[in-house]
Amino acid sequence: MRLKPQVHLPRHITKWFPAAIWRIPEEDKKVVYLTFDDGPIPSVTPWVLKLLKENDIKATFFCVGENVFRYPEIFEQIVEDGHAVGNHTYHHIQGLKSENVSYFKDIEQANHLIGSNLFRPPHGWLKRSQYHFISQKYRIIMWDVISCDYNQNITKEEVLNNVLKYSRPGSIITFHDSLKAEGHLRYALPKAIAELKKQGYEFRKIEFPKERRLFNPVHRQRLQKLRQTIRQVRRWA
């Protein structure tokens, strides 16, 4: 398959991070993994969850800690619907532009709420030193195909084509449940699901059974307390 730089990260970058997960191919199985970055967002994520439920699909959501703090009830719904969750930092900061210690603290701040051993760096960029440190605790999940749904300089049809043309067995496909991507996402995601199903693909969430369980009771208790606090603040406002 000929790679498209805007859809696939360049090969030299994948070589920098050899332990990161780029694809999950299984012999003789047509499986793809839908992933969603940057949520949860009230006007977008519930729509995605509804669409996935209607199609009996489990996916993986790489959540921004700040958004989990703002909308804990949506995050809880993601988990209750049986999807996997991953850490996408607390403030959606880029590793290359961040000092290492502050970057690691931001990740741990997010993990305090998200409670996952899956991590995806915003924009897909990390320093080598960050990669080596983070990979000691987290499974770094990258992607095989990025839809570019966030890109306002391409059409919604091009977003759909990015997914359908370049997906292959084992592909990790990235969409964004964000305001910036919403218009393209609402067009491309239903059509991509329908066409990939037609082609015989199965959809799975990303999980590693031997790893520690995601979203343990401690994290659930934290979110429940957070949700109660937010309700009180809203009543007082």
Residues labelled catalytic? 37, 176
Kindly provide the residue ranges of all beta strands, DSSP E only, lying in 82-227, ordered along the sequence.
84-87, 118-119, 139-140, 145-146, 172-176, 202-203
Could you write out the DSSP letters of every residue in 32-93? EEEEEES---TTTHHHHHHHHHHTT---EEEE-HHHHHH-HHHHHHHHHTT-EEEE--SS--
Residue with tokens 């992933």: 35
- Three-state DSSP state, 148: coil
* Residues 113, 69 contacting (CB under 8 angstroms): yes
Cis status, amide bond into 10, omega within 30 of 0: no
| β-strand partners of 32 | 203
Residue among 20, 12, 19, 83 nearest 46 (CA):
83
Q: Report the C-alpha gap between 83 and 17 in whole angstroms.
A: 26
| β-strand partners of 60 | 35, 84
Kindly provide the residue ranges of all beta strands, DSSP E only, lying in the chain, ordered along the sequence.
31-37, 60-63, 84-87, 118-119, 139-140, 145-146, 172-176, 202-203
